[in-house]
Amino acid sequence: MNLQQFGIANVVLGVVLLTVSFAWTSVIPNKAVWTEEQASAYQEASAKFHFDSFDKELNEEERTESEANYEANRKLLDRAIGKKHGTPTYLRIASLVVCGLGIGLILGQRANA
């Protein structure tokens, strides 16, 4: 395989990566990054924190514990969202690098010919 063929292969691979990056969020199920158990725990923590926020009979320590539990679950959710939506960005960057390398190889080979 000469450099021009390798460059063409890189451009094709870059286009494939770019296509995959646009389809990523619709193809990868939410369950891959956020389980039903995590969703249930988040929902319970959120409801408890909301209820505890308005409960006048609750002491400050219990309210703080409820808020900390909610915040911990919220951070897990934010991380899961970041994982699912961060991957396409990395795929797009990789596709640009691979395409750029391929185009550089093709143009370099043509200049030498």
Give the CB-side neighbour count of residue 73, counting CA atoms within 13 A: 21
* Owning domain of residue 91: 3-112
DSSP state letters, 8-41: HHHHHHHHHHHHHHHHHHHHS-GGGTS-HHHHHH
Average pLDDT on 14-33 reads 86
Please give the pLDDT value at position 98. 95
Query: How open is the CA angle 90-96-99, to the nearest 5 degrees?
Result: 135
Residue 111, pLDDT > 80, answer: no
For residue 77, the 8-state DSSP code is: H
Q: What is the pLDDT of residues 95-106, one digit of tens each?
A: 999 999 999 999
Q: How far is the C-alpha of 79 from the C-alpha of 82, rounded, in Å?
A: 5
Give 58-80 pLDDT, tens digit per residue: 888 888 999 999 999 999 999 88
C-alpha span between 47 and 32 (Å, rounded): 24
Count up the domains in the chain and report the number: 1
What is residue 113's predicted lDDT score, i.e. its pLDDT? 66
* pTM, two decimal places: 0.62
Amino acid letter, 48 = K
- Specify the pLDDT at position 65: 92
